[in-house]
Amino acid sequence: MKSISFLSILSLLALTLPLVIGSDPSPLQDFCIGVNTPVNGVFVNGKFCKDPKLATADDFFFSGLHNARAVNNAVGSNVTAVNVNNLPGLNTLGISLVRIDYGVNGQNPPHTHPRATEILVVQQGTLFVGFVSSNGDGNRLFTKTLNKGDVFVFPEGLIHFQANVGRSPAVAFAALSSQNPGVVTIANTVFGSNPPINPNVLARAFQLDPKVVIDLQNKF
């Protein structure tokens, strides 16, 4: 019985360990201000830390998210990120924020965040949102139409999207569970890689004529 209990504990640890190491580590101090040079710093969690005694309120401050952003691009949206790269006080805290502006018929196209779960709230307009589960779950599509004040969660690493289905511009804010969540936009990554992926590889993967693939690559 003891050996069975010991094996059960080992199995539980094996299951939970990837969850622990797959998320941002907990801070080792009250805060760790991100700096871009190693002078008088210690390398922690991807950024050097400022001497805590030199921290100021400005290290924890970002202004301007109340301003609408231009959406004159191919997808009709604009994402303004607030992460450790422009708000250094986020270093080691495992959280960041984005504002997303959507033009009429605009979208935040299918993408993933390799290091973060995202929770989104609509401030203005109507959005059609969704995510697709992994292969092992059968690639199920989960969607919802959101209005002002509605909230939706996109699990870490899964492909997700938002589209403005209203008759006016829309705005949403989202929090992400990483100081630097990263983003992989599916179309740009697959068809706009540098150097390009061999068209024959993509043609077989997407069951398309290689000429169609080349045409898509030329767009990115």
As a whole number of angstroms, the distance between CA 192 and CA 141 comes to: 25
118 is known to lie in a ligand binding site: yes
66 is known to lie in a ligand binding site: no
The residue behind tokens 């929090």 is 175
Residues in CB range of 178: below 8 A, 6 or more apart: 23, 24, 94, 95, 96, 113, 115, 116
108 is known to lie in a ligand binding site: yes
As a whole number of angstroms, the distance between CA 203 and CA 64 comes to: 44
As a whole number of angstroms, the distance between CA 207 and CA 200 comes to: 10
Amino acid at 80: T
As a whole number of angstroms, the distance between CA 52 and CA 74 comes to: 43
As a whole number of angstroms, the distance between CA 142 and CA 192 comes to: 27
111 is known to lie in a ligand binding site: yes
As a whole number of angstroms, the distance between CA 81 and CA 75 comes to: 17
156 is known to lie in a ligand binding site: no
Bind-site residues for oxalate: 108, 113, 118
Bind-site residues for Mn(2+): 111, 113, 118, 160
Bind-site residues: 108, 111, 113, 118, 160
